[in-house]
Amino acid sequence: MLVKVCGMRDGENIRLVENLSVDLIGFIFYPRSPRYVNSLPEYLPRSAGRVGVFVNEELCVIEDTVIRYGLTHVQLHGSETPSVCEALRQRGIQVIKAFSVSVPDDLMATGRYDGCCDFFLFDTSTSGYGGSGYSFDWGILQHYTGNVPFLIAGGIGENDAERVLDFRHPQFAGVDLNSRFEVSPGIKDIEKLDRIITKLKR
């Protein structure tokens, strides 16, 4: 069970989250997000993977950010093409492509990206780009028949551990935790995260 905690930017908070044995820590490089990272945090993960989240950003900007922050993964939340995903993978970067899901037909868009992404991320369909705090019907994901493993995002909270553990799909790889664990945008409640991660990693 991969656990990704997204929307981080405070050095000490990042260090405490990493100590919970999370697998991936996400940094949002989308200026309209309340969790936008505009400067290098005082601490960056050393054992957890570093994921940069972008929305329709130019490839050169993504590549520069990868170098500056030492990113291991790039998560793309916009209308980025398969060729952008492939270009990043050729540079040794793991790619997570996000898709908004509200009905089974939304999963058809994944077909173009099969083979050029390391993970998909299925999130709640909203007017923005993630971080809504709302969940979607995970039953829709039973219609996903692709080969790329996926993470589930969107409104997962402390009381959802059993729901996550009970979910079954051959490509289900893990979860993305964000807004339901925040004290304020970009600052996570360590005790709440500890409780759910302990259950998910048991």
Gap between the Cα atoms of 87 and 96, Å rounded: 13
Q: How many residues does the chain have?
A: 202
Q: Is the CB of residue 25 less than 8 Å from the CB of residue 51? A: yes
Q: Is the CB of residue 69 less than 8 Å from the CB of residue 44? A: yes
Gap between the Cα atoms of 195 and 117, Å rounded: 31
User: Considering 85, 116, 117, 123, which one is annotated as catalytic?
Assistant: 123
Q: Is 117 a catalytic residue?
A: no
Q: Is 123 a catalytic residue?
A: yes
Which one-letter amino acid corresponds to residue 92? G
User: Considering 6, 85, 116, 117, which one is annotated as catalytic?
Assistant: 6
Residue 33: CB partners within 8 Å, gap ≥ 6? Answer: 7, 129, 131
Gap between the Cα atoms of 121 and 44, Å rounded: 23
Angle, CA 187 vertex, CA 119 and CA 200 arms, to 5°: 50
Q: Which residues are catalytic?
A: 6, 123
